[in-house]
Amino acid sequence: MTSFSLFLVLLLAATIFAWVRREKFWTKRWENTAKTLGLRARDADQLPAYAAVVLQARHKAEHQAEQRRVFESLLDEISQGLVLLDDTLRIRYANKPLAKLLHRKDIHVGRPLIEEVRDHQISVLVQESITEKRHTTRRIQMLPSDVGAGSNLGGRYFIVEAAPLGADVGGGAWLMLQDVTEAAMTEQIRRDFVANASHELRTPLTLINGYIEMLQEDSAKMPAATRRSLDVMEKHGKRIARIIEDMLAISRLEDASSSLNKEPFNLRACAKDAADHLSPMLEGRDARIVLDIPKDGQLVGDRFYWDQVFTNLLENSLKENSKPGLVIRVSGEWRDGECIVKVSDNGIGIPAHDLPFVFKRFYRGNKHHSSTQVKGTGLGLSIVKRAVEAHGGKIELSSTPGVETTFTMRLPVPDTKA
């Protein structure tokens, strides 16, 4: 054996000897650690496995913490304020935009929600969402709070959303706030403009229409072309007057400060008055209006707006259905604390693609307006919807073209026994 080979053998032996001593050292170390932890000697061999599990759990916790930091960073970049609450409405988490929206330096985690937002409307909405187990959205106007608190938001408008959280994440609810004050103010300016402009236009237009009627009284002495011109002027003058009245009606319905004059009235009599008012449209036509409302059926509401509801629905049906055989049925039924009013006809119906838009202002599904017939203003159904909602009700529309079109209005009936 050469000296080099002998050197390699000695080096290998030294390496093996060192490795064995190292193994004995760590085995002894594990045994001492096991004794310190109160483990039996035979469990000492399992300590490396336990250590690996602990290390893995640590890596998982670090990964989850990193993910949470990423999500929190993303939530801090949105414009809405987001809050996570426990079932006692204490704050578990709040993103940074919330403090900015509430004009606060910061939001304190662990404190009750009402102490941070200082408006019971928000707390009530969240509690309502948790109790009823549903997603709730509402636009609120913040109430004045203590100016000294540095977060007086009185008069500002917020869209507030809340929904319950599942038991697997600890229960409670999430809450989101969005400041819509600018949009609300713009909408109010638009409403004020429409209302003021309509008031200013009504008086001169009434005078113009009056002079047209006065000229028509002597139309027999006028040339035929002049008479035709006066007739056209009268027709379009009345149309403009109707648009103005409709716009004023919508403005009053949308004005939160304008209260309804609610009184008990006979629903059948109201519908009959509207039908009698439209009787000239039935002359010379194979069309009829059927009333299927109990004679003693009463509703508590503003009779003025219900006259408009029935007039608009009946007039809309008569205008859109020129074919003979039209039957318009108005029915009313009282059950389970609500009144269900239906206006249906067997006319041409409304196409499915028009159904989502019929209650929008100025929307008219039939675009082929002839020059000899003035169509509606496109505001009638919008007035109907807002009038029903102003009475706390809901309106639904269903239509099968060529078979039946039905407007269904569901209205709460106060409990007279209470």
> What mean pLDDT value characterizes the chain?
80
Pick the CATH number of 263-412 from 3.40.50.300, 3.40.50.2000, 3.10.300.10, 3.30.565.10: 3.30.565.10
What phi and psi values does residue 372 have, to the nearest 5 degrees?
Answer: -95, -10
What phi and psi values does residue 160 have, to the nearest 5 degrees?
Answer: -115, 125
Identify whether the C-beta of residue 83 lies closer than 8 Å to the C-beta of residue 113: yes
Pick the CATH number of 184-254 from 2.60.40, 1.10.3120, 1.10.287, 1.25.40: 1.10.287
Give pTM, 2 decimals. Answer: 0.59
Dump pLDDT digits (tens) for 257-297: 567 888 999 999 999 999 999 888 888 888 889 999 998 88
Dump pLDDT digits (tens) for 312-334: 999 988 888 888 889 999 999 99
**Per-residue pLDDT averaged across 364-393, rounded?**
71
**Per-residue pLDDT averaged across 217-222, rounded?**
78
Q: Where are the domains of the chain?
A: 76-179, 184-254, 263-412
